[in-house]
Amino acid sequence: MNTPVTTLPDQKRIGMVSLGCPKALVDSERILTRLRADGYAFAEDYAGADVVLVNTCGFLDSAKEESLAAIGEAIAENGRVIVTGCMGEEADAIRAVHPQVLAVTGAHQYEQVVEAVHTHAPPSQGPFVDLIPQPDIKLTPRHYSYLKISEGCNHSCAFCIIPALRGKLASRRIDAVLREAEKLVAAGTRELLVISQDTSAYGVDIRHEARQWHGREVRAHMTDMARELGSLRTPDGQTPWVRLHYVYPYPHVDQVIPLMAEGLLTPYLDIPFQHASPKVLKLMRRPANEAKVLERLKSWRAICPDIAIRSSFVVGFPGETEDDFRYLLDWLEEAQLDRVGAFRFEPVEGAAANALPDQVPEAVKEERYARIMEVTERISAAKLAAKVGRTLPVIIDEVGEADEDGDIGATGRSQADAPEIDGAVYLRNVPATLQPGDMVSATIEDADAHDLFGAIAR
C-alpha cells in the first residue's frame, strides 16, 4: 500500500514576522515560496521554528522602533533570528541593539535571505521529494492578492528614503505581471491589488517594452496593463476587481477612467497627494499642480460618477505655515476625497527634509492633525450617508458565528474600500452558506463616518 508523504524527515521549520506595507508582504510571500521549494516547512509560533525571519520596515523612525521591538521579541521567544527588509539596509544599527541576530539582509534580497536560512538552518533533504510544483504561498486571504509590478522609485521627495532603501524604478516584464495575475485569478483571487512605489511610472525604465501575450503585443505601460487585467475572468466567468494603488496623477491616468466606467477596473484610485499648498509641495520636491488636479477630479467623476479617490497627507512639514495648512483644508473641501489618511511629519534618518529650516513644533502638528481629521471625517460621513438606500456590490471578507437568535453577520467591502486601510460594510442576517470571497449585492441601510451597514439585497 502506498502511503502519501506530506513532510520530509526532520524537516526544518521557518517562522515569519512580516511588518510594513503590502509591498513588503509580497516580499515575504516570495521568500516563503522559495523556502518551501527548498524543503522547509513553516511554524505557526515561535516555539516551533528552527529559525525566525523578521521582515522589517524602515520608512519612518517609528517604524524602525517597531521593527527593533519585533526583532527583540523574536529573539526573546526563539533566539535564532534572521532580519531582512527595508531596515536591513541599516545592519549596524540593528546589530547595535540586537547583536544576537544571525544575519541581516536588505529589501527584496531574496537570494541572500535564502542563503542565510540555508546557513543557519540547513534543509534536511530526505529520501522523499515532492516533484509536483505547489502554488505560491499567500499571506493574504485566498480571495484577494497583491500584484507587485515594480520595485523602487525615481522620485527624490524630501521626506522619503525609499530610493535609498529599494533603489531606482525597476519594472517587471509585462508578460510576467500578466501571467502572475492570470494564475492568481485562476486559483481563486477575486480582487487584485496592484502595488508599487509609483504605479503610473510602470515601464518607464524599460522604455515600455512590448512582449507577446496571448498572441498579441502588450506594452509595459500602466494603461496597457490595466486594460489586460480588466479582461481577466474568474473560473465562473466573473470580472475580478482590479484596484490601482500608489498612482501618481500623470496625464495618462486619464485613460484608465473610462475602463472603470465600463466595469473593467474597480472605480478606485489611491493617489499620494501629500499636500496641496504649492509652497509646501515645492519644499517636498513634489509636483505643485493642485489646481489642475481639481479640474481632473471633476472630469473623472463626470466619466465615472462612482469613482472613489483615496489619498494621504502630511501635516507639520518643515516650513508649513498656518496659511499653507488652511490652503490644504480649503483644497480638501473642494476635492471631496472619499478616503483620507493623515500623518504628522516625522524626520527620517537620511531624508533631505531633516535639514530644512522652520521645523514645526510637535504641539502644532498635533493641533493640525486633529483639524484635518475633523474635516476629512465630516466629508467621509456625508459621502457614506449619500449611499444609504443604494444597492452596492460587496466582497465578503469574514463570516461570523450565529448569535443566540440564529442570526449571522458578515464583514465585507464595497468597491470604495481597499483591505486593511479603508472602511468596511457590515451585513446582518446573512445566509449560513455565505463564504469569504463571495460577491453579493447589498442594500445599504445606515452609515457612520467610516463604515456602511446593511443586508444582502433580496
Q: What is the pLDDT of residues 383-417, one digit of tens each?
A: 999 999 999 999 999 999 998 888 999 999 999 99
Which pLDDT does position 273 carry in this prediction? 94
C-beta separation of 92 from 110 below 8 A: no
**Tens digits of per-residue pLDDT, 261-274?**
999 999 999 999 99
Q: How far apart are CA 52 and CA 161, in angstroms?
A: 27
For the segment 408-427, the average pLDDT, to the nearest whole number, is 96
Domain parsing of the chain, residue ranges: 13-120, 144-383, 391-456
Which pLDDT does position 36 carry in this prediction? 84
Whether the pLDDT of residue 350 is over 90: the answer is no
C-beta separation of 222 from 202 below 8 A: yes
Give me the CATH code for the 13-120 domain, please.
3.40.50.12160
For the segment 249-255, the average pLDDT, to the nearest whole number, is 93
Closest by Cα among 415, 375, 381, 376 to 395: 415
Give me the CATH code for the 144-383 domain, please.
3.80.30.20
Q: How far apart are CA 382 and CA 8, in angstroms?
A: 57
Task: Please list, in sequence order, all residues whose beta carbon lies within 8 angstroms of the beta carbon of residue 306, skipping any fewer than 6 positions away.
Answer: 267, 415, 416
Average pLDDT, the chain: 90
Q: pTM for the complete prediction?
A: 0.80
CATH architecture of 391-456: Beta Barrel (2.40)
Instruction: Please state which of the ranges 111-115, 271-275, 306-310 shows the lowest mean pLDDT.
Output: 111-115
Whether the pLDDT of residue 89 is over 60: the answer is yes
Whether the pLDDT of residue 132 is over 60: the answer is no
**Tens digits of per-residue pLDDT, 183-219?**
999 999 999 999 999 999 999 999 999 999 999 999 9
Q: What percent of the chain has pLDDT over 90?
A: 70
Residue 274 DSSP class: B
78-87, 148-157, 433-442: which is most confident? 433-442
Q: Which residue is associated with the grid cell 512605489?
A: 197
Whether the pLDDT of residue 5 is over 50: the answer is no
Which pLDDT does position 135 carry in this prediction? 61
